[in-house]
Amino acid sequence: MNPFRSGIMVKIVLAAGVLGFVAWQVDYNAITYAYAQASPVWIVFALLLLPLNMALQYAKWLTLVRHYRPNVSSRAVLASLGVGFSAGLITPSRLGELAGRALSIQDTDRAALLGLSAVDKAATLFVTLVVGVPTIAYAGFVYGETPGAFLALPVVLAGVLAIALVLLFLLIPGAYRWLLDKFPFPKKFRGRYERLFAALNEIPRAVLLRLFQLSALFYVTFTLQFILVARAFEQVDPVTTAVIVICIMFTKSLVPQVTFGELGIREGVAVFFFSLFGYHASTGFNSALVIFAMNVLLPAVAGLMFTRHLHLVRTAAP
């Protein structure tokens, strides 16, 4: 069997195993009963926010690509975004999304585009960490038992360190040079790494500021979607649910994800935090699963129509 297909099969099996284990821990009967009693109108409201969610991601990527290549067409940017959604679904931590975007814009330096994709993801990660650090500390020390409070401290410290690293590489132009000098990158790939990190550091502060603003709006939209979906399964408090969603997003961003579409990881984290705040575990499981179908699976399936027309051509840069 093709190694790529074998890898996908392994990820699917892992996802099924982890998801099944989490569902078994929650109780299959509770999960199915919650779906039977769910109010679909709230899920419809969340689905209506999906176009805004996608538009914000498109605006972020367009901002970066147009900075690097002002004459690129809107259609090419949209197509690369769609290819990225599809590629991200089958790779750990959605890393394939970065490569998918870089490969699908023709006559452009792919290494530079890969760097811009990383900046896009770093901006979203930065917002997730900045909002998540104080929130996870609040959840651990106020709602958690004594063990939970002790566990919250290293998680908070890890988040602070991650924030510092993101800012270091986004705002300090010489940071990537230190990385290139410290690690023995193969000589034949060194030029590509140079262009990748150079693109990352050549973004004006005004562009970065707009990117952070769009990332914050995207974060708010996603959080609101999650709250609406959770409301379909249980009478949740919006403010408390927002805290829960922030904790889920923060924790998930620090956990290595090797399953297909991060299935099982997201649901397990959601079960933990919804239970911690006194809600039904099935609400967390079902909400996370619906959010996956809505915000990950649907865009990935839609992105497949762009992959059919993808031509991998030689880039302009050597």
Give the domain ranges of the chain. 3-20+43-307
pLDDT for residue 184? 60
Kindly report the average pLDDT of the chain as a whole number: 77
**Strand residues in 128-215 grouped as ranges (E):** none
Q: Which tens digits make up the pLDDT trace of 112-152?
A: 777 788 888 888 888 888 888 888 877 776 765 544 455 56
pLDDT digits (tens, 9 = 90+) for 159-190: 677 777 766 666 665 665 565 566 665 655 55
What are 49-107's pLDDT values in tens digits?
Answer: 999 999 999 999 999 888 878 888 888 888 888 888 877 776 665 666 777 777 777 76
Contact of 228 with 43, CB cutoff 8 Å: yes
On whether the CB atoms of residues 79 and 309 are closer than 8 A, the answer is yes
Residue 41 has pLDDT above 70, yes or no: yes
Query: Rounded to whole angstroms, how far apart are CA atoms 203 and 222?
Result: 26
State the pLDDT at residue 224: 97
The dihedral of CA 134, 139, 141, 147: what is its sign? Answer: negative
